[in-house]
Amino acid sequence: MNVVIVGSGIGGLSTALYLQRKGFQVTVLEKLSEPGGRARNFSVGEFSFDMGPSWYLMPEVFQKFYREVGEEVPEIEKVDPL
């Protein structure tokens, strides 16, 4: 079965991975030239901003996702703020 997902944010990309692992043929459509939503970066002048870091305030969600798709959970190292 073919599935089309509109949007390549975290939700669209993770849904695409889940469906692909269940045997679906998945196409992800994104209006930008790179991933969108919380997976996106943007620049203003010489400054670059990552839209996603605040999402990691729920590490259990990411850990569950990695386990469910059969990937090793990346180790997160806490660092001191500048």
Q: How many domains does the chain have?
A: 1
9, 41 in Cβ contact below 8 A?
A: no
Tens digit of each residue's pLDDT (9 = 90 or more) over 34-78: 888 877 888 899 998 877 766 567 788 888 988 988 889 888 777
pTM here? 0.70
Residue 82 has pLDDT above 80, yes or no: no
Q: How many residues belong to the chain?
A: 82
**Structural domain includes residue 74:** no
Its domain, for residue 54, covers 2-68
Is position 22 within any domain?
yes
State the Cα–Cα distance between residues 65 and 4, nearest whole angstrom.
Answer: 21
